[in-house]
Structure formats: structure tokens, C-alpha cells
Amino acid sequence: MPKPSHLAALGVAKEVTPGTAVAPTAWVPWKTLTPKDDINLIEDTGQRGAPVDVFGLLPGQKGAELDVGGDVYADTIGWLLTSVLPDLTVTGASAPYTTTFSTLCTGDTQPPSQTWTIADPLGTWQYAGAQFSELGFKWNADGLLEWSAKAKSWGYTTTTTPTPSFTAVPPVANWSITNKLGGTNIFVQDGELTIKRDVTEIRGAAGTQNPYRIWSGDVGVEGKLTLVMESTTQRTAFQAGTVQSFDCLYSQGAGAAANGLTLHCSQVAFTEGSPNYGKDYIELPVSFRAIANTSDVGASAGYSPIKATLTNAITSGTYK
């Protein structure tokens, strides 16, 4: 009998030791959930006097990839932000707390290792040592603010099924989002912002099928916006290579229940910016890249292309 996929629950927790699975401390509502298990079979091709190509298959080193996504909730999205921007600073004596996320420029520069757990009707699967290579945000005129992410992890292990407990924080309607270029509010029909890090599995002959470590590389940020072309200002900025700031933000709730997210890049430059005459009005689709700067840094200083600020009831020490 088929098993219902909508009963699958997605959990996350920070690890004490990278690659050692831990039970979920938070549950993340999902819309996309696609694990890919890599077993890397090794072929025995030693010739044995016969015209065949493979004489055996041996188990190789294992790993997994996670492709996940969902709507943005101001508490659970912190787990994803930490996975790419691990310089965290939490302020506030009580809820709401403000957490800022930026590029970590000291120590090993690495995000905390996380265990992502999938509990479904067939069992509970833990993907330890996860490091994310991509975290993207999308918004438009309709629906909810969405995120998507990709990670690499160790091969799954199984455990007893936990009891999920989900957030009570509401998601974000796209109409409530504010966008700014150069500090000025702009009308955006749809937008994307993606934070990327190269992720490498460090493997070797060490008596285990798991990697020695999953290692995160440099941070980069890119995005796309579709603007209504009411003037030539942004087209001129593209032609001139003008650097300006970009913000995507929302806030909702009040008092201890206040929550919100700001994605701020102090310096972005358009890489595309040609008008589109395909509709009854002129559009200006633009693409941009963020430039590392000393304004978007956290406590570790250095350089960062972005700073994310999250408001919620989550205390210091939770995400990292």
C-alpha cells in the first residue's frame, strides 16, 4: 500500500560533533523535500578472460544531498540562515529578540554542523553533518514568501520516531514585503535573492564510508528583480555600473509576538538591466550581484556581501 507523503515531517538540530546525529529541536514546515542518497558503488573491472565490463560492485563512500524548501516563518528560517551566514549576534532582554546573521570571518569560518531529520510513515531518517550550499528567497505579487535550499550531508542513519511540534508563527504574505534600492522604496513585481557557498566533501582512506568533513567555502549573493519601468533611473544605473544598496524586508505582529526579516546588501551592482516591451507596459528585469563590504559584517568583522536581521522569540544559543 502506498504511504502518504504529506505525513512526512522535517526536523533540525545543531550538532555537538560534526557528523554525529542528534534529535530534532525544531520542526520546519516544508513544501519541497527531496533527499538523494549517494552510495558511489565501486566497479571491479579487472579482466578475467571474458568480454564483459563489470565483474563486481563494491560499496563505496556514502553521502547524501538534500533539496528542501517551504514558506518563510520567522523562527524556523533562522536555522537556514545560520547554515550559510554563521556570524550570529543576538540582542534583546526578552522577546522579541533580534538576531543578525553575517559572514563569519574568524576561526574556521564554518557554519555549525546540523542534523536534518525526515520522519515519515516508513521510518525516521537522520542526515548528519549537513552543510548548505544554497539558500534562496522568492517573492511576487501573490502567495507567501518562500525559501529553497540545497545541502550535502553524511549518509542517513535511522532512529526512533520523535513527536513533531510545529511553529505557531504565521508565514509572510508577499504583499507585505518592502523592497528598496539605494534606500528608496521601489515597486517590485517579483524578486529573488540567493546566498551561495561552495560545499566540498573531504574524503580519504580512513576506515569509514563517511567523509572526514563537509566543508563550506566562500559566500556569494545574487538576485533578480522585475521592475515597472517608470523612469530611466535603474537602466542608467545598469549602464553606468552604479553600486547601490538593496533591501527586502517585512515585519508583522506586536510586542513579544513581533517578528520579521530584513535582507540587506549595502552594495549591489546590476549585471543585467535591459527593458522588456512584451506587455502593455514597459518592464525592467534586472539581475544583480552583491559586493563584499565592511558595513554588512557581524562581530567577526572582515567582509560580507549581506547581513540578515531576524526578529522573533528565539533566544541566544538556539541556532548556534
Give the mean pLDDT of 61-68. Answer: 96
pLDDT tens-digit map of 120-130: 999 999 999 99
Which of these, 226, 224, 222, 183, lies nearest to 305 by C-alpha position?
A: 222
What is the rounded CA–CA span in Å between residue 312 and residue 192?
23
What is the rounded CA–CA span in Å between residue 169 and residue 29?
11
Q: What is the largest CA-CA distance in the chain?
A: 78
pLDDT confidence band for 1 (50 / 70 / 90):
confident
Question: Which string of DSSP letters, residue by residue, matches 243-300?
Answer: -EEEEEEEEE--GGG-EEEEEEEEEEEEEE---B-SSSS-EEEEEEEE--BSSS--TT
Residue 295 in grid coordinates: 558595513
SS3 178: strand
The residues near 315 (Cβ < 8 Å, ≥ 6 apart) are 90, 97
Give the mean pLDDT of 243-263. Answer: 97
pLDDT tens-digit map of 135-187: 999 999 899 999 999 999 999 999 998 999 999 999 999 999 999 999 999 99
pLDDT confidence band for 293 (50 / 70 / 90):
very high
The percentage of residues in the chain with a pLDDT greater than 90, rounded to a whole number, is: 96
Give the mean pLDDT of 78-95. Answer: 97
Contacts 24+ apart (CB under 8 A), 172-175: 172/71, 172/72, 172/74, 172/144, 172/145, 172/250, 172/252, 172/261, 173/143, 173/144, 173/145, 174/139, 174/140, 174/141, 174/142, 174/143, 174/144, 174/145, 175/141
> For position 222, what pLDDT does the model report?
98
What is the rounded CA–CA span in Å between residue 232 and residue 238?
10
> For position 116, what pLDDT does the model report?
98
What is the rounded CA–CA span in Å between residue 17 and residue 115?
10
pLDDT tens-digit map of 266-289: 999 999 999 999 999 999 999 999
What is the rounded CA–CA span in Å between residue 199 and residue 204?
16
Task: Indicate the residue type of 165.
Answer: S
Task: Indicate the residue type of 2.
Answer: P
> For position 310, what pLDDT does the model report?
98
Q: pTM here?
A: 0.95
Alpha carbon of 156 to those of 35, 110, 198, 226: distances in Å?
Answer: 10, 22, 22, 40
State the residue for C-alpha cell 534583546: 92
The residues near 284 (Cβ < 8 Å, ≥ 6 apart) are 226, 227, 228, 229, 234, 235, 273, 274, 275, 276
Cis peptide before 96 (omega within 30 of 0): yes
The percentage of residues in the chain with a pLDDT greater than 70, rounded to a whole number, is: 100
Q: Answer yes or no: are the C-beta atoms of 292 and 195 closer than 8 Å.
A: no
Q: Answer yes or no: are the C-beta atoms of 67 and 32 closer than 8 Å.
A: yes
Q: Which residues pair with 49 in a beta bridge?
A: none
Average pLDDT value over all residues in the chain: 96
What is the rounded CA–CA span in Å between residue 130 and residue 313?
25
Whether 10 shows a pLDDT value over 90: the answer reads yes
What is the rounded CA–CA span in Å between residue 318 and residue 76?
11
Whether 195 shows a pLDDT value over 90: the answer reads yes
The residues near 303 (Cβ < 8 Å, ≥ 6 apart) are 103, 105, 292, 293, 294, 297
Whether 228 shows a pLDDT value over 90: the answer reads yes
